[in-house]
Structure 1
Amino acid sequence: QDEKRINHDALPEKPILQLTHQTKWVVFYNSVAQARHEVVRLRVSSSTVEVQDASGKVIPSQTNLVWTAAQDSSTTEYELVFIVNVPPLGLSKYLIRDAGSEVNNPYNAPSQITLYNTGSPDSSVRGVFHISRPISDNRDFTIENSRLRAKFSGTTGLSVSVTTVKDGKETAMSVEFLMYGTRETKKDKSGAYLFLPDGEAKTLDTNGKAVIRVIRGKILSEVHVLMKHVEHVITLHRSPGIDGWSLEISNIVDIRDQRNRELCMRLKTDVKNSNEFFSDLNGFQMQRRKTLSKLPLQANYYPMSTMAYLQDQDTRMTIHTAQSLGVGSLQEGWLEVMLDRRLNQDDNRGLQQGLLDNKRTPNQFRLLLERRHQRTSSPNGGSRQTGVDYPSLTSHSVSQLLNHPVYAFIRNKLPGEGPAGDVKLSGSVQPLVKALPCDIHFVNLRTVQAMDSPAPTQESVLLLHRKGFDCSFPANGLSCSTSGGKVQLEDLFRDLDLTDIKATSLSLMYDGQVLNSKATLQLDPMEINAYRIRLD
């Protein structure tokens, strides 16, 4: 069980793994057809933990406090962070135990915590954690890994810029939170279907009093900013995988005390995008958008299902999202995302009520900064002739982090307790002979229902999607490669024979070429192919 909810409208919570001196196993599942090497988080009952891989080798880990208020933390629950390696479409087992008072545990380290704007400049020790509360001098501070360095304002705690370590180039990347109102008129006002603001958005002013938490560790570092309506967290992973190449942004938004307000997050960069940006269409392809000053503000907002980006000849800045939201680029170098809306009136478009059912709402994003290794001739980095553009391979993989996360399955029973006590698990399960190429997404493998019975037949359908990508960006953090759209059938499933293979339409109504088990599938870019197969 990866998450649980106390009730239907509560935020999801991670279950707590109750640790003892005996090891307990946790299984991680990877739902994509490429290997994953990335940071995972668990909730555990101890702050001194030892993590082992399936072979019994102790691996590095980090423990963090679980915060219950601005300065208060739980004494019975802690966050455990470590890096897992999970095979494609596979499972990996890790062993965790409470190390207790063992002093010789160099692999596990507690994070170092600094609190600003708390009103009490002193230091304290909370178990194994050291907490400092220096007098704020408003100087900027940074967190970094081997790829990125993020700078933050010492006054607000919000992001100021991001530097790519390899070339030392700094890109402005300031974050702001703003509120839109709705226009005061007897005609239509903002509602469920209409966005009719009363003018420019107004900055959410913190007066320099927002509590700032800076958490530094050997596996990840974070900056928490606790504002009145937003809990904003930026995380930087020290991971060899794809998650180490982007910034993770998490917001918990609460505007239940507002009236006719719409909250957005704005990123201000120095990318010269010539008032053009790209947003996706249902996560399938990217569409060029042109911001026009002759149109009202709301006409320059577009839907964003999975990502949107700004770019110029040298740089691309992509924001990946785990939830569908509205996005706009109202000025050059700006990209803003609508986070939540609370509106008191119906907009006469069929809902017959306002938007008044707001809850504390989580939003998750990934911010990816890329440098071109092939300079383009177009001023805005895209293709002016066709309006067509593609994410990079790295960008596709970052999107998978949000939309296809690694799932954790924990078990609190000790060996010998209950009917499942004698269950023995192998170290890993690897159903594929080898990983699929980076640009091939394993969409689905499902059985086919019989025409005259509710039971499934012996036939299955395999769906594969080849993604289009921009080759002018380096493929950072990837453990896979591309193959020109070729997939060997014999490289798919381990210990299973594929028979009765034939291409078919996505509706399964029109069958095509019959294939043998050693055939090579050829997928064209941006296409989804379907195949009928039988697994023996």
Structure 2
Amino acid sequence: MGLQTYYIANGFAGCEKAKPAKLKFFSKLSLIPCLAPYACSNVEGDTVEIVNRHQLLTFDVKHGLLQKVIHKNGLQNVVVEEIALYSSTGGAYLFLPDGDAQPIIKSGGNLVISEGPLMQEVYSYPKTSWEKTPVSHSTRIYNGGNTVQDFLIEKEYHVELLGKDFNDRELIVRYKTDTNNKRIFYSDLNGFQMSRRETYDKVPLQGNYYPMPSLAFMQGSNGQRFSVHSRQALGAASLKEGWLEIMLDRRLVRDDGRGLGQGVMDNRVMNVVFHILMESNISSTSDPVSNPLPLSPSLLSHRVNAQLNYLLHAFIAKKPQEISAPTHSRSFSPLAAPLPCDLHIVSFKVPRLSKYSQQQQQLGDPRLVLMLHRRNWDSSYCKKARSQCTAVADESVNLFNMFKDLTVLNARATSLNLLHDDTEMLGYTEQFGDVARDGRVIIPPMEIQAYKFELRLRQ
């Protein structure tokens, strides 16, 4: 939590110049020019690789699709990427496919590999049956040092399901892995908890599709996990062992009679972003068949999801000499120390005034509201993330010591709708003590709590 200002200026003579990325091309559609100041070369062989400190990715050059991932510990994962289309007679609410999805990527197309000091990327503009392909995609890995980004694989799909050629078509991406998940996977409920999803032969294909608001993962009997974090809410399925397929976009002509009154024809160009994470269990294994209970993401998985769905806000300002206002502080960070890694700030705001809140304000009700959510995480996958965490929320968090140079006044617990402050009704009295007296906050996993208070500059 905080603000930071950076200034971009021309470099001085003693500054080290930025190193341009090295580019490699493969093209069967058209000649790709090499622009200055980049060094370019042609791809040789049937496969191409990109690598960082933690993993090596192998791609099929002719199709531009991911094939396998090799980790620094020598473990190898088969991850065969496939892009396909369903023909459908459904509508906005009903998914009614006419059989299995058919792959659309043909041999050929354009492939650009960019190898820079901070990021390596494979961009594929594949060849399909259509003159203008409905999807192109990029795969990226990062070299940021000791960061969360180093462990993940970023996939970005540029989808253009436009025009009558794609009427009654539904576009998917499918990852065929070597995870023996027994056709069981887990997807989240609004980013709050995970639900176990199982594929049944007794129901049609559409009955085995489940919502995936932000995360889906498969786990094998040996504890290997394959997770896909999404920036968009989508649908997912595991129709065969080791497969995880995700819906990218739909274009449907028919009204399915469920209230919309029309098909889904207002498609726009869109970018679908995934963060893929592969993890090994370090302490115990849980067979998804023998364990009917939902599993929890790892701490690293939670951090990957937060980085994907809670982005930094970047604002571009005018040049300093054009700003008439006086220069302010370049940074602002109100927290005295980082929060525990499994504690998430849902919101920190001044509530909007209503008739009820205006009455409460006159009675001296605090103006600030802080909502905290403690995530539940699987400690058997904690090794990578715990090494980067200062603390987890096993101990209490003190509201009075949370902010530096600011004093917390009139702190008290409240309901999530901010209407009730009775701690006995909220169930806080016996478990959590008096927040107003000692500022101590204890949040069990999988709970959200809200607190009202005032902030004043410390004298």
TM superposition score normalised by structure 1 = 0.76
Q: Find the counterpart in structure 1 of residue 258 from structure 2.
A: 349
Q: How does 1:267-278 map to 2 (within 5 A)?
A: 267-278=175-186
Q: Is the 2:343–2:393 contact (alpha carbons within 8 Å) kept by the matching residues of 1?
A: no
Q: Find the counterpart in structure 2 of residue 4 from structure 1.
A: none
Q: Find the counterpart in structure 1 of residue 87 from structure 2.
A: 181
2:319 pairs with 1:397: no
1:440 to 343, 346, 366: 343
> SS at 2:448's partner residue?
strand
Separation in 1 of the partners of 2:3 and 2:251? Answer: 42
2:3 to 79, 87, 91: 91
Moved more, 453-462 or 249-258: 453-462
Distance 1:459 1:425, change over 3 A: closer
The one-character-per-residue Cα deviations of 1:76-108 (angstroms, maximum 9, x if unpaired) are: xxxxxxxxxxxxx012232322349x6x65351
Q: Find the counterpart in structure 2 of residue 63 from structure 1.
A: none
Q: How does 1:243-254 map to 2 (within 5 A)?
A: 243-254=149-160
Q: How many angstroms does 1:296 deviate by?
A: 0.5
> SS at 1:96's partner residue?
coil
Q: Is the 2:251–2:264 contact (alpha carbons within 8 Å) kept by the matching residues of 1?
A: yes
2:172 pairs with 1:260: no
Distance 1:97 1:299, change over 3 A: same
Q: How does 1:124-523 map to 2 (within 5 A)?
A: 126-134=35-43, 136-138=44-46, 140-165=47-72, 167-182=73-88, 189-206=89-106, 208-227=107-126, 228-239=133-144, 240-257=146-163, 258-312=166-220, 313-376=222-285, 378-380=286-288, 384-385=291-292, 387-411=293-317, 413-420=318-325, 423-448=326-351, 449=353, 451=356, 453=358, 458-477=366-385, 478-508=388-418, 509-512=420-423, 513=429, 514-516=434-436, 518-523=438-443
Q: How many angstroms does 1:429 deviate by?
A: 1.4
Q: Is the 1:434–1:491 contact (alpha carbons within 8 Å) kept by the matching residues of 2?
A: no
Distance 1:433 1:291, change over 3 A: same
Distance 1:516 1:126, change over 3 A: same
The one-character-per-residue Cα deviations of 1:149-168 (angstroms, maximum 9, x if unpaired) are: 11111221211111221x21
Distance 1:442 1:383, change over 3 A: farther
Separation in 2 of the partners of 1:316 and 1:322? Answer: 20
Q: How many angstroms does 1:426 deviate by?
A: 3.0
Q: How many angstroms does 1:131 deviate by?
A: 2.3
Separation in 2 of the partners of 1:458 and 1:502? Answer: 9
> SS at 1:408's partner residue?
coil
Distance 1:530 1:178, change over 3 A: same
Distance 1:410 1:395, change over 3 A: same
Separation in 2 of the partners of 1:525 and 1:157? Answer: 42
Moved more, 428-437 or 469-478: 469-478
> SS at 2:302's partner residue?
helix
Q: Find the counterpart in structure 2 of residue 11 from structure 1.
A: none
Separation in 2 of the partners of 1:315 and 1:452? Answer: 50
> SS at 1:394's partner residue?
helix
Separation in 1 of the partners of 2:167 and 2:29? Answer: 31
Distance 1:418 1:191, change over 3 A: same
Q: Is the 1:259–1:343 contact (alpha carbons within 8 Å) kept by the matching residues of 2?
A: yes
Q: How many angstroms does 1:334 deviate by?
A: 0.3
Distance 1:322 1:485, change over 3 A: farther
Separation in 1 of the partners of 2:253 and 2:29? Answer: 37
The one-character-per-residue Cα deviations of 1:20-71 (angstroms, maximum 9, x if unpaired) are: xxxxxxxxxxxxxxxxxxxxxxxxxxxxxxxxxxxxxxxxxxxxxxxxxxxx
Separation in 2 of the partners of 1:324 and 1:244? Answer: 24
The one-character-per-residue Cα deviations of 1:512-534 (angstroms, maximum 9, x if unpaired) are: 15424643211101000111212
Separation in 2 of the partners of 1:392 and 1:137? Answer: 38
The amino acid across from 2:104 in the alignment is L
Q: Is the 2:337–2:402 contact (alpha carbons within 8 Å) kept by the matching residues of 1?
A: yes
C-alpha RMSD over aligned residues? 2.2
TM superposition score normalised by structure 2 = 0.88
Q: Is the 1:114–1:215 contact (alpha carbons within 8 Å) kept by the matching residues of 2?
A: yes
Q: Find the counterpart in structure 2 of residue 37 from structure 1.
A: none
Gaps of at least 5 residues in structure 1 are 1-88, 183-188
Separation in 2 of the partners of 1:406 and 1:327? Answer: 28
Percent identical pairs in the alignment equals: 34
Q: How many residues align?
A: 429
Separation in 2 of the partners of 1:363 and 1:480? Answer: 33
2:446 to 526, 529, 533: 526
Q: How many angstroms does 1:485 deviate by?
A: 4.8
Gaps of at least 5 residues in structure 2 are 127-132, 424-428
Q: How many angstroms does 1:198 deviate by?
A: 0.5
Q: Is the 2:366–2:452 contact (alpha carbons within 8 Å) kept by the matching residues of 1?
A: no
Q: How many angstroms does 1:419 deviate by?
A: 2.3
Runs of 4+ in 1 over 4 A off after TM superposition: 118-122, 454-458
Q: How many angstroms does 1:231 deviate by?
A: 1.4
Distance 1:488 1:354, change over 3 A: same
The amino acid across from 1:435 in the alignment is P
Q: Is the 1:279–1:289 contact (alpha carbons within 8 Å) kept by the matching residues of 2?
A: yes
Q: Is the 1:267–1:334 contact (alpha carbons within 8 Å) kept by the matching residues of 2?
A: yes
Q: How many angstroms does 1:507 deviate by?
A: 2.5
Q: Is the 1:502–1:511 contact (alpha carbons within 8 Å) kept by the matching residues of 2?
A: no
Q: Is the 1:224–1:233 contact (alpha carbons within 8 Å) kept by the matching residues of 2?
A: yes
> SS at 1:389's partner residue?
coil
Q: Find the counterpart in structure 1 of residue 426 from structure 2.
A: none
Bigger fraction of residues in strand: 1
Bigger fraction of residues in helix: 2
Q: How many angstroms does 1:428 deviate by?
A: 2.2
Q: Is the 2:374–2:445 contact (alpha carbons within 8 Å) kept by the matching residues of 1?
A: yes
